[in-house]
Amino acid sequence: MKHIYLNLKRFDIPKEEGGVNSIAPINGWGSYIVEHTKDALAAYSEEEAEFIMYLPEAHLLPAVEALKGSSRIAIGAQGIHREDVSSGGNFGAFTSNRTGKAVKALGCASVLIGHCEERKDKAGIMAEAGVTDTDAVNRILNQEIKAAIAAGLTVLYCIGENDTEMDRWQEVLGKQLEIGLKDVDTSKVAIAYEPIWSIGPGKTPAGKEYIEKIAKFVKERTGGLPVAYGGGLKADNAAMLASIPEIDGGLIALTRFQGDIGFYPEEYLEIIRLYLGK
């Protein structure tokens, strides 16, 4: 089975406000995406692929409502807090933080943890306090993964190396896996590999041999967990990624990178068609 993940980040911000959203009004953005993809995704069987959409928190309820009984799409949150409510203990004192049980109550089935943007944010906060230990970020992410699983969520755990870490990628990725997954029920986890050094305008995309090398490494270190390509599943790399046996899926974000940049449901469906060959 293949695993297709969609990370919609903050693509809901209108163009006049500096964003890239031109497909729907803000109050109907999440539901619009679900409504304009769910029928096409229903054509794929559960044995062929699973589809999880990670949305900004404001759009979770409309997206869940738009499913209307569809079982082919799962809605996920883009992150959770490392602590949660507990019987006889904290019953909700988490101002500004969304807990695993909170997003579960909203109708989410999964959560994205360790995305390079989350790692950068956590590392930046620690740097303000004089902490430069990258293992500390991995330890916090480990707590988040455990909290997610305890709340009944599955996890897409992102790992990746930046341009200053490429010569020691085995050490960097190895620690992200070892520390991040310590004492975790990995039956609830899939891995997304992000070659951070290759993501963004003007950067050279990671090639097939490099991606294959990393995927094999992750499989070996995790006992065969599903590995999705987190550097962006696109129309122009779908066939290449589909040809790598160790890659079990991909993470889609933007679908258009020139002109009217943004996410468009019909282009998302075309990327999936190209990747799955159907």
Q: What is the pLDDT of residues 221-245, one digit of tens each?
A: 999 999 999 999 999 999 999 999 9
**10 Å Cβ neighbour count for 12?**
22
Give percent above pLDDT 90 in the chain: 96
Is the domain defined by 78-259 classed in CATH 3.40.30.10?
no
Task: Identify how many contiguous H helices and E strands the chain contains and give both numbers.
Answer: 10, 8
Q: What is the crossing angle of helices 134-150 and 116-128, to 10°? A: 120
Residues of the chain below pLDDT 50? none
Q: How far is CA 14 from CA 33, 128, 192, 242, 245, in A?
A: 15, 32, 29, 33, 39
Neighbouring residues of 123: CB distance < 8 A, sequence distance ≥ 6: 134, 137
CB atoms within 10 A of CB 200: 8
- Which residue blocks in 87-182 are alpha helix, DSSP H? 100-105, 116-128, 134-150, 169-180
Q: How many CA atoms lie within 13 A of 178 on its CB side?
A: 10
Q: Which residues are tagged catalytic?
A: 115, 194
Q: What is the pLDDT of residue 207?
A: 96
